[in-house]
Each structure stands twice: as C-alpha cells, then as structure tokens.
Chain A
Amino acid sequence: MTQPGQLAELRYFGLTVRQWTILGAIVGMVLLLVMPFLLRNYRVFQINLAMVYAIAILGLNMLTGYNGQISLGHGAFYAIGGYTAAILMHRYGVPYWATLPVAGFVCLVAGFLFGLPALRLQGHYLALATFALALATPQILKYKHFEEFTGGVQGIVLDKPEPPIEFSFLGQALSQDRWLYFFTLLVAAIMFLLAWNILRGRIGRAMIAIRDQPIAAAAMGVNLAMVKSLTFGVSAMYTGVAGALGAIVVAFVAPDSFNIFLSITILVGAVVGGLASIPAAIFGAIFIQYVPNIADQISKSAPWAVYGVFLIGLMYLMPTGVMGLLRLVGARLRKYAD
C-alpha cells in the first residue's frame, strides 16, 4: 500500500503528484478560458446551456442525492426562476445580472414553502406531489390573469445581453454568446463552490444523516423539519438560478418549455451523473445536453426513448452513475498500481 506521505514523494516524469495536479488545474483553466474562441457561436451556446443544466442538476442532487427527498417537479422551480428573470428584465428593465439573486431568493422562498407541506410526505408521496406540481406548471403560467406579466402562451422574448467590452481573440470577436459563456461560467463556479462548502460542513452531514437514518439523526439533535425544508429551499434556489440563467442564455421563456419533461430531464441528468456527488452534475449536464442531439438524428422521439433506457439500465447496472464508474475505475487503477 502507498501511504499518503509516500504518495507525495512519488514522482511521475519528474513531477510530484501535487505538481501534476497544479499543472492540470492550470491547463484546465486556460482551456476553459480559450475554448469559446475556438468554437462557433452555436457550440458556445450549447455549452452555456450545459452549464445552466449543471447548476439545476446540482440543485436536485442536493435534495435527492444528499437529503433523500425525491422531487419530480424541479422544472417548476426552473420555470419560476426563468420567469422571474424574464419579467424583471422585460417589464422593469432590471439588468440581467441583477435578476439572478432575485430569482434565487424567490425560489428559495418558494422551495421552502413547498418544502413545509412536503415534510409530511415520504418517498412516493413526495414524488407524487412534486409530479403534480410539474404537470400543473405550464397551465399556471398560461393563466389569463397572470398574462400581463407572463405573456400567456406566447411567453416573453428577451434581448441577449451585450458584452460590456469589445475585443477579439484568435480572430473571433467576443460575441453575445461568448460573453454569456464567461458570465455563466462565473456563476456556475460560484454555485459549485457554495455547494461544496454547504455539503462538506455541518449542514451537509446533517442532510446525509437524515437521508440514511432520520430517527438516529433526530436523536443526535438534528432539527429534521428545519434541515429538510431548508434543503428544499436551497435546492430550489439552485434550480431557480439555473432557470434565470437559462432564460438569459436562450433569451426566451414560454410555458410549454417548462413541462413535466423538463423536470424529468433534470432527474435524468442527476441520475446519469451520479447521485450524492458534486462533480457528477457536470457529467449529467453533458449527457442531457448532447445525447438528445445525437439521438435526434434517428427520430424525434428517440431522445426520450434513450433517456428511458438509460434511466432503467443505470438503475440495474450502475446505480451510482458516471461518478460511481469513475470512482470504481480509479480504485481499480490504484490497486493495480500497487
């Protein structure tokens, strides 16, 4: 066995593990910063959406993966976030970046309030209540007395934000999509860092304890009701921020894009990436952004059939998702190296 101390001494190609990690991080950072200038606008737009999904999936993962509360209705919070941002920008002329905290706060409150009755619901019943929420969302958004704000069936068309500075790099101008790429990347980085801080600390441990042994957790002094509804709120906040970002990136919101299948998409992302893991959200987001594009070439219905097969197949073969597979491969490799 390699001891941690020994590991630091080991050199591969003249560099220690730590030096390799730092080098990898620097290369990764440079790649992330240069990438949008190497790709066409449309590709950049797709990556933006993938990052938005990653934030939403992270939100669901906090709730379902870490806290064990099943939600089939996170599309509703995504919709609330998206509409909050769109209405603020369209009606009140609020700058796009300022809508994110508002959308996050609105969803935090909405999630907390939905989480309160959800406290009484376990397992299937919670899934059912959130399923109903997801099914009813488009209808509520279309409701004619809200039409003045929501734009009814037509939705709201927004302008993509202009980049604050003008410059070119590698012969490519900083377009709207490229600017949004950096904006989304920054927001995603902040959200992931925040999640990491929440989940590895006291609250994170309380969340996991509630998932695994609610009675023991309560006996240890964890305030079950508070932690569960707060988790619901924070999870909704993440998805709401993602929804607001999504509205800015796509520059359009309409009721029918927030149907039950959006909620299922987010769930697919969380399951494929792997539950109860933070980086898993990135893999999940890549999956739900790119797999439908590939499957779309077979048939219009194919993406969903593929989703379904993946959902069921993963449950049988790899319940821990992509992250679980990576961990397994990592463990095998380490064993092999010893």
Chain B
Amino acid sequence: MEAFLHQVFSGLATGGIYASMALALVMIYQSTHHINFSQGEMATFCTFIAWALIETGFPYWVAFFATVAIGLVGGMAIQRIFLRPVENAPILTNVIVFIGLLVIFNSTAGWIFDHTIKAFPSPFPRGTFFDTQYFSSHEIGSIMVTLLVLVALYAFFRFTPLGLAMRAAAQNPVSSRLVGIRVSWMLALGWGLAAAIGAIAGMMVAPIVYLDPNMMAGILLYGFAGALLGGIDNPWGAVFGGFVVGVLENVLGAYVIGTELKLTVALVLIVGVLTLKPTGLFGKVVVTRV
C-alpha cells in the first residue's frame, strides 16, 4: 500500500508538470485554435538558457525568473515574427511552420549547448523538512510551483483588465477589435505566457529527467494527452487531465505494463479520447453549421 501511495504521489508530481504543459497548449489553442507542436522544444530551449545562467554563477531563483522573462518575450517575438504572416493561412501551413520551429529549436539547442546529457539543479534539495516517505522535496516543490502558476494565471485572467482583454480577444476577435482591443497583440501575449509556462515546466522536470535537447518530446505528448482528456478548450480541465495522466502513467508503468511502453499509453490515450470523446471530459461541444 505504501509503495502504491508513493507511486500515486510521484505521479501527482510529474502530473503537475504535464498539467503545466497542457495549460500552455490550451492557452495557445483557446486564442488561435492551433496546436503548438513546438511547445516542448521551446520549453527545452528555455531550460537550456536557465542552465547556462546558473552555470555562469547566477543564483537559482534569479536564473529562474530571468528565464521566465526571456520565455515571455521570446514567445511573443516568435508569434510576431513567425506566426503572424500565416495567421489566416490553411491549417497545413500552420502545422508545417510549427514543425519548422520544432526542428529549429531542437537543433539550435543541440548546436549551442551540445548534445551531452546535463544535470540540472533542483531548488528544493533533499533532506529538508519537506521530505516525507511519500514525497521527495522536489516533488512537493514542483507541485507547489504548478499550483502557484495556476493561481497566478487565474488571478491574471479574472482580475486584471489585460486578462479580460485577452479572454475577449480569444472569444470574439471581431467584436473585441471593434471595442479597441489589439487582438493580434493579445495573441502574441498568449504565446508569450505559454512559452513562460513551458519554461517553468521545463525547469521543474529537468532535475528528474536530466537536460538534453530531446528532453521534452515525451512530456509534450503527455501534455497533449492531458489537455485532450480534460478538454482542449478548458484550462481547468487541462490541468485536471495533466494530473490524471501523471498518476495513470506512473501507476500503469509500475504495476501493469512496465516502464518501456509509457509513451504508448499516451498514444492510446490521445487516439482514444480523440475518437471516443473528442471534446474531452470538460470541453465544450462545438456544433458547426454546414
């Protein structure tokens, strides 16, 4: 029983990271109806920046917030430079641009920072009072960070004028434009926020899986699975889905199928949700008129 509980809790910890990725995907999907395939590589690239900052001697939290800021600005820049020209292009064009971004980030990360696997420090070292028999301190720390991000985002969207403007731009771009909201910049801000959340997820997962250019590939897949399970247009659902996928992955991996087929679980989950209940658990049912 104790072993089982431990699996569940460490599942919750990785689930928090998947939830962050899912949230980042939902942020972009809500406003643009595009699925960002380069989300994982963007996060990895940010994590590499954090690693470089820490290596040059910055304290962890300075590097952390600097990386989040770089992610925010970088994400906005990417939207402005690469995605704005294809905003109204067919889906295929967008998917190909995303894949282009994916390979560019992946290869430049390898080019600049080398392909060797690197250890990434955790801000929550072992042996502090957080450590319990079910949780390591990093696990509880990363869950706390995820929850903090969630609360901050909720407050931002719920209580600030900018958050309101972003919600409006996502819900009804044309009317928002008419009342003076700069819709295109709101999309850019959405990208920036998504990149920043991705950066946080990357920095939280790197101490567990180690840092290399392909670090996020699997995590992105779990993020997708979580987002789809919860409903890709519902942030809360996506977070819930992320946690569920984390626990499911850990428990199934430990007791049913072994660790080798974990990605296949995500594949089955994605195809299953998409075919059986495309809106996910909490998504809106979209009716199209033909």
Contacts and interface: CB of A to CB of B under 8 A. Distances in A.
Contacts of A121: 274-275, 278
Contacts of A140: 261, 264
B10 to A, nearest CB: 20
B93 A319 contact: yes
B261 A304 contact: no
Interface string B10-35: 00000000000000000000000111
Contacts of B221: 131-132, 135-136
A68 B267 CA distance: 22
Interface in B88-129: 89, 91-93, 95-97, 99-104, 106-108, 110-111, 115
A72 B224 CA distance: 15
B154 interface: no
Nearest to A131: B37
A35 interface: no
A143 interface: yes
Contact of A132 (B96, B103, B108, B271): B271
A305 B104 contact: yes
A307 B103 contact: yes
Given A135-B221, A304-B103, A117 B261 contact: no
B266 A316 contact: no
Contact of A316 (B33, B86, B217, B258): B86
A128 B35 contact: yes
A267 B110 contact: no
B152 to A, nearest CB: 28
Contacts of B96: 267, 271, 311-312, 315
Contact of A128 (B33, B89, B92, B224): B224
A315 B270 contact: no
A123 interface: yes
Contact of B100 (A125, A299, A302, A315): A315
Contact of B263 (A127, A139, A299): A139
B274 to A, nearest CB: 6
Nearest to A64: B92
Nearest to A116: B275
Interface string A114-147: 0001001101110111011101100110111000
Nearest to B220: A135
List the 8 shortest-distance A-B pairs measured between CB atoms, nearest first: A311-B100, A308-B104, A304-B107, A301-B111, A312-B100, A123-B91, A301-B107, A308-B103
Given A123-B95, A316-B86, 16 more contacts: A70-B92, A120-B278, A121-B274, A121-B278, A128-B224, A132-B225, A132-B266, A136-B267, A264-B103, A267-B96, A267-B99, A302-B111, A304-B110, A305-B108, A312-B100, A312-B101
